[in-house]
Each structure stands twice: as C-alpha cells, then as structure tokens.
Structure 1
Amino acid sequence: MTSLLRAAVSRPSSRRVARALVAGTCLGVLAGCSLFSKENKHPPTELKPVSATLSVKQAWKADVGKSGAYVMAPMAAGNNVYVSARNGTVLALEGNTGRTVWKAKTDIDLTSGPGSDGSVTSVAGEKGAVYAFDSSGKQIWKKQVNGEVLSAPLVGNGLVVVRTTDTRVIGLDAQTGERRWIYQRSQTPLNLRAAMGMVFAGDGIITGFPGGKIGVLAPANGVLRWESTVSYPKGVSEIERLNDVTGVPVIYGRQVCATTFQGRVSCLELANGQPQWGKDFSSPTGLAQDDTSLFASDETSTVFAFDRQNGNERWKNDQLRYRGLGAPLALGRSIVMGDFEGFVHFLSRDDGQIVARMKTDGSAISAAPVVAGETLIVQTRDGDVYGFVPN
C-alpha cells in the first residue's frame, strides 16, 4: 500500500505514528489505499436513482493506461486535453472528439499527470525525471531534479515548474530544461504524500505548502514574494498537527482561496496574502469555485458550498458520504466530481442537489475533471478517458 505520508524525521516513534495513520486512516489521495476495505467502519452510501434535470451525453471514450499508485490528472489547454499513464504513455487528445493528436512514451514509469500550455507538455517520472514534449509530441528534453515529483508540472511563461516531495520548487527553461532557479524551504515533521498544485496568477506562481501555508513565487527567479497562513496546526501529536494545503489554490479577481487537511478553508488578498476570512474545515482534495461560491468535500465526502466573500455555508449535501469523492470542478450551473466506483456526479451549484449522474468503467475518479473546448473530460484509475457533453 502506498503511504500517504512522508516522514521528515528519523525518530522511531515518528515512523510508528506514520505507519499507524496509514494503516488506520486512508484519505483517498493516492490509489494505493482503499477507503472501503472490509475493516472500514463507514461503508459507502448507496446511490439512489436520480431524477435528472440536466441532460448529459457521452461524446467519446479513449484509453491511455492505468494510473497505478498515482493520481494522473488530465490537463486541458485550448481545445486539447493531455493525459498520461503510469507506464509512460502521454497522449494529446482533441477535446471535442477524443481523436489522438499525438502520442509519446517515456523510457521510465511516470509519477505525475501532465502540465501543458499547448506548446510544451511536461510530465514527471521515477527518480525525479522530468520530460518535455513539443506541440507534435516530440521529446525535446529530459532532466533530473533528484526528488520524487507527484504534482503535475506547471507550464507557461517560458517555464516548466516542478515541485518535489521534499518541498523544493524548481523552475526549468521550457525549451532546454536548464535550471533557472530553485526555491527550498524547511520540511515539516510529517506531511501528506500527495500532489500539491500550483497556478500562475499574473506575474506570480501561487502554491500551497505543508504546514498550512500558501505563498507566491516570482517566475523570474523563484524568490518568495509573500507567504501567509491558511490554517495553523492543532493538537499535540504529529498526526493531529498534520495540516497541509490540498489541491490547487483558486484565484478570482484579487482573491486567492485554499483549503487544508485538518485545518481550514480560507481566502486571502492576492496582492499581499492578508487574510480575508477563514473557517474550520478539512478537505483531502481541494477546492472548486465560481463567481460567488467555493465548493469542496470533506473527509466523509460531504459536499459543501461556502460564500466566497465571508465563508458562510450556503449548502451541504451528504448523499455521497464515504464514496471517496475526487477533486471537484465548477461547470456552468453544476459542480462535477467522480467517486470511487467511477460514477460522475453533477450537483446543482445553487442548492447542492444531484441533477445528473454518469457511469464510467467502475474504477475510481480521483482527479478533478477538466473542460477542453465544449467537452467535460474525466480520467479513471484504470486509464479510460471519457468526454461528456452537458446540455
């Protein structure tokens, strides 16, 4: 079973603590753990028939390969979607048709999904290998960053930015792979072994850190412009104080919002990190947003909507409890997320009611869906990629 935690200390007691948490509590971030083992005290809620008020049809299906013990999240850029598999396969697919635009194969197994700006596509593999491909799928470089990479590379502004599980963030030249800068921070005693997303915001790179922190790096040199706190650790033991930013921070106007495991959901000023509001909350998968609300599921797979101006709860839906919901996406009037059995659920963003449901191949959907062109795209653990069109 793949560990969800990375211990940054060598004390035997810490190793026992980490093993105990992995054995007893699985957050569903990585596929190596099962949320629904025979010993689980909380069986998944049985699905009830949906009186669909939203029409959704399957437009196409493609296969890329299994994810293994990693979250291979699809990436949309323009009208294409980019997907990868554990076995090293990387595909660019046309969003509206599922047609293969190009296909590439790395020489070692992969540990991350792809990042792309449409011109350069990058993935990470075992032992910190980072690959880049051009717009035709030709490999243009391969570099080593000497650390495990679980997060999809962030590609844009002439950079491929990767982060390792030992908390380094590295800026590589998008055309040559040469290192431009590196940002290093001290490690926390214990952190989630999971992908932490990054996003460009103007001339900055927004990223979450272990310990409930969020910060902005300068793309030119990797200098930390500001750092702020989403949530503070609580409790006495290392497990109780585990408090990492999860998912990708979301940007809207002058506001950046993020959520943590065992912490809070919070919004801050984008310019300087000044806190706007925070609310106790714990999510293993991160946030989605629209212009008025933030959406997230907690550890029980109860889905919440929060007012983005003040954090007030707008609604919650507990009809999918313990179904191992993946990361959410806000799409039109719906919130979309997959579950551990490969169902794709569409919830009304107004009141949280389930308005449609689609079935895939029966394997988990952990990563957030994406939109390419007019098509909603999800990728399953077993490697099937589906294109859906909501009407």
Structure 2
Amino acid sequence: MGYPTKVSIARAAQWLGSAVVAVSLASVLAACSSHEDPRREPTPLTDFKPTLDVKQVWSASVGKAGKYLFQPVAVGNDVFAAGRNGSVIRIDATSGKTIWSIKVDDDLSAGVGSDGNLTAVGGLDGTVYVLGKDGKQLWKANASGEIVTPPLVGNGYVLVRTIDGRITAFNADTGEQKWSFRNRSVPLNLRTTVGMTFAGGTAVLAGFPGGSLAAINLETGDAYWQTPVSYPTGVTEVERINDVAGAPTLVGRETCAVTFQGRIGCFEAESGRPVWEQPFSSYGGLTADQSAVISTNDWSEVSLYDAANGQRVWQNSALKSRTLTAPTIIGNAVAVGDAEGYLHFLARDTGVLVARVKANGSGISAPAVVAGDTVVVQARDGDIYAYRAQ
C-alpha cells in the first residue's frame, strides 16, 4: 500500500483547501513543496457503462466554504447546511423546499450539527451558536478555541471540539458549560475535521491526534476507556503525525476508526478492546455498517473491509489521486466526491464504478449524506445538490 511521505501532507492540505498542520506550518509545507511526485497526478476519468441511473432532483445554496470544510447533516428527511458567511439552512430533502434560512452575525468555521430540534454551528473565534427548531437563535457560548469540527447535538448536550482537541460540553437547553475533556498534546497535528459520535445516551466516542480513541462519559467528562488505534512511527515530527481522521463509527457493539499514517480497525465499544486492525492511512475518515468498513486512503484508493474479520474485500484505484472524500454508503452503492466536483458511485459488492454525476467545478471536500432516498452533497462554493437513483 505504501505509507505517505511529506508529499502526502501537501496533498492533504490541498484536499482541505487550507493549512494541514497546526504547528510549524511554513517549514512543513516548504519541505513538501521541494518534492514532486508524478504519482500524485489525478487519474483521468475514463468512460464506462453506468448500471445505476442517478438523477439530480433539486439544488440550493448556502454560501462558500472558504478555507474550511462544511459538511451537511441529515436528520430524518431534513438536511441542514451552513456556509462561512454565517448562513444556515434547513431543507426538506424530499421536495427541496427550504424550511428556514437564517444568518448568524459571525463568520463560521464549522457546521453544522443538529438533532432535528436544536442546530449548532461554530464561529471563527470559538463561539458556538445554537438555534431552535424554527431557526431562531436560542443561545451562544464560547469554546475557548478555533472550531473546525461540526458540533455534536443530542442527549441533552451540545458538544464542541476546538482545534487543540479539547471537547467542551454545554447544556443543550441553557448553554451552561458542563465539562471539558482534553487529550495529551502532540507536536504536530492535522488541521482537519475530527468528528464525534454518540454511543447510546451515556458516552461520546472521539479520536485524537497521536492515534488514540476514547469513550467519554457524557455526564462527567471522564474517559470510560482510551485505546490506541495506532502508534506514531518515523523519525521526523512530520512522519510521526498519527491523527485519528473523521468521526468514529458505532455499529452494534463495535466502534471503528482510522488514522493518518497508521491503521484502520474496529474495537469493542464497551471496553475499547481491539477486534481487528489493518495497516492504513487516511485523512478523510471512514464509514461502516453491519457488514462493511469502508475508507479512502491518502492516494484516493477506496477499500472495503469485512466488518467481522478485517479482511479486505476489494480496493478501487480507478480514482487514484483525485482527492476523494470519505465514502458514504447508499444502499448497494458507495459514493465518494472529488476535487473536480464529481460524485462517483461504486458497487458495494465489487467496488466497480456504476454511476457518475457532476455537481460543479468548485470541488467536493465533504462526504455526501443520505436523507431518506435522497443523496445530498455540498460543493465548496456552497451549492447543495440532491440526487436519487431512478
């Protein structure tokens, strides 16, 4: 498979549209730019015979992402999205009708999180804004740091994560801060979205720079357990970057996670004990269900692993170096977006291409989401596109 070099760090920066390293940025990127790798040229798209008919059913717009990553979120049949200019929108995914649209008085760096009743977004200065079911602002609070990860809303809490890895929990009704959890610091880390996932109503799962995964008590902010997904390797600090990427998944009794320059694997959600692990490297994250764990590696190769034993079932390299998003499972297909604005659909059982649609030329950096039978993706210029299989 081959682990990424410093060129991979530069590629990750391009994927995010912003700086990828939080510390010593100038020296790292200077080192990266001095190495050219012809293998990083995007693989040209080739013609194929589609076997899945995918059609656009509506579109909307919410505002440009700028240098940040804005991913929509689906709750039931509704889709929530936000843009850097402070715009937040709620859309009925079935009809494409806007339910409400508002603009907070701030530039945003993260959004959006919602449980359908409350919706939260993060401002550039660390302010979290919480909106009610009608879109009106209920409260705001400060998380004491830059927010680049969408807030997690539910179980009576609004959880906010800042760039330094600190997770702060607020009472969802009042905005009162309840607790703060911070993992050990590392010299360098990826400047990327590292999501959080509820584990029932008692814990939140989160990954951290340095390669660790933790289950945190929702009531107290203490860790039930913390375990390494992988360990840093290499000589230089750049080579030792080993962050958990994306949000951990929770399927049944297992949680799965992937690291940059590390491993992909699944763990017992109750104890953190490893179930299986394989060498892997991703800065985008993964997705999973009862039978499969799927991720996109640094070379934009998509791999599906058997969720039970960790054996790789297939790998698709047809989109290599096209700066793919993390995958999204859509029935019998897997969808990934690319930097040129295409949304590709792969057959779940074989990994072969079955459909392709073009959103727009601004590129897709965030994974698609599924609301009912509708697939929704947000382009970097803020345009939102919805598709359905016919």
Give the TM-score band, short-chain normalised: over 0.9
Between 360-369 and 68-77, the greater mean CA deviation after superposition: 360-369
The answer to whether the 8 Å contact 1:215/1:226 transfers is: yes
**Are 2:256 and 2:288, in contact at CA under 8 Å, matched by a contact in 1?**
no
Q: Secondary structure at the match of 1:140?
A: strand
In structure 2, the partner of 1:33 is none
SS in 2 for 1:295: strand
Taking structure 1 as the reference length, what is the TM-score of the superposition? Answer: 0.92
The equivalent of 2:61 in structure 1 is 63
Distance, in Å, in 1 between the alignment partners of 2:139 and 2:317 is 47
Match of 1:42 in 2: 40
What's the offset of the Cα at 1:113? 1.7
User: Deviation per CA, 1:27-68, whole angstroms, max 9, x where unpaired?
Assistant: xxxxxxxxxxx9976221111122111111111011111100
Identity of aligned residues (%): 44
Task: Report the count of equivalent residues.
Answer: 373
- Alignment partner, residue 53 of structure 1: 51
CA distance in 2, matches of 1:290, 1:15: 36
Retained in 2: the 8 A contact 1:4–1:22? no
| Structure 1 unpaired stretches of 5+ | 8-13, 26-37
- Structure 1 residue 362, shift from structure 2 partner: 1.5
User: Structure 2 matches for 1:186-225, cutoff 5 A?
Assistant: 186-202=184-200, 203-225=202-224
Deviations 1:95-153 (A, max 9, x none): 11211101111111100121000000000011101000000000011111110010000
Q: Which residue of 2 aligns with 1:112?
A: 110
Contact 1:335–1:348 (Cα < 8 Å) also in 2: yes
Matched, 1:20 2:46: no
Structure 1 runs of 4+ with >6 Å offset: none
**Residue pair 1:96, 1:387 contacting (<8 A) in 2 also:** no
Aligned to 1:5: 21
- Pick which of 40-49 and 96-105 moved more: 40-49
Asked if structure 1 preserves the Cα contact closer than 8 Å seen for 2:19 and 2:25, the reply is: no
The change in CA–CA distance for 1:180 and 1:361 in structure 2 (over 3 A counts) is same
Q: CA deviation at 1:15?
A: 5.7
Are 2:366 and 1:367 equivalent residues in the alignment? yes
Decide which moves more: 256-265 or 307-316: 307-316
Describe the shift of the 1:22–1:61 C-alpha distance in structure 2 as closer, same or farther (beyond 3 A): farther
Name the CA distance, whole Å, in 1 between partners of 2:19 and 2:223.
30
Give the Cα–Cα distance (whole angstroms) in 1 for the partners of residues 384 and 234 of structure 2. 41
The answer to whether the 8 Å contact 1:17/1:239 transfers is no
C-alpha contact (below 8 Å) 2:114/2:152 kept by paired residues? yes
Shift of 1:374: 2.0
Partner residue of 1:154 out of 146, 152, 156: 152
1:22 Cα offset (Å): 6.0
Following superposition, the deviation at residue 20 of structure 1 comes to 3.2
What is the SS of the residue equivalent to 1:171?
strand
Post-superposition offset of 1:381: 0.2
Does residue 1:286 correspond to 2:285, yes or no?
Answer: yes
* Equivalent residues of 2:252, 2:290 under 8 A apart: no
User: Partner of 2:312 in structure 1?
Assistant: 313
8 A Cα contact 1:250 1:257, kept in partner: yes
The alpha-carbon distance between structure 1 residues 317 and 24, as it changes in their structure 2 partners (threshold 3 A), is farther
Residues 72 and 21 of structure 1: CA distance in aligned 2, closer, same or farther (over 3 Å): farther
Structure 2 CA distance for aligned equivalents of residues 193 and 104 of structure 1: 28
Cα offsets for 1:50-100 (capped at 9, x unmatched): 211111111101111110001100011121100000100000011112111
Q: Distance in 1 between matches of 2:193 and 2:284?
A: 10
Aligned pairs for 1:166-205 (under 5 A) are: 166-202=164-200, 203-205=202-204
Partner secondary structure for residue 91 of structure 1? strand
Secondary structure (helix, strand or coil) at the match of 1:146 reads coil
Tell me the SS of whatever aligns to 2:293. strand
**Counterpart in 2 of 1:263?**
262
Contact 1:189 1:238 in 2 (8 A): yes
Q: Which amino acid aligns with 1:349?
A: R
Deviation at 1:373, TM superposition (A): 2.5
What letter corresponds to residue 315 of structure 1 in structure 2? W
Distance 1:74 1:330, change over 3 A: same
SS at match of 1:211: coil
Q: Which amino acid aligns with 1:267?
A: C
Q: Contact 1:5/1:22 (CA < 8 Å) preserved in 2?
A: no
Offset, 1:24: 6.0
Taking the aligned partners of 1:15 and 1:192, their CA distance within structure 2 comes to 10
Matches within 5 A, 1:317-332: 317-332=316-331
Q: Structure 2: which 5+ residue stretches go unaligned? A: 1-16
CA distance in 2, matches of 1:290, 1:185: 28
Assess if the C-alpha contact under 8 Å between 2:209 and 2:242 holds in 1: yes
- 1:354 match: 353
- Provide the residue aligned with 1:31 in structure 2: none
Residue 18 of structure 1 aligns to a residue whose secondary structure is helix
Instruction: Give me the CA root mean square deviation.
Output: 1.6
**Aligned pair 1:98/2:108, yes or no?**
no
Matched residue SS, 1:190? coil
Deviation at 1:19, TM superposition (A): 3.6
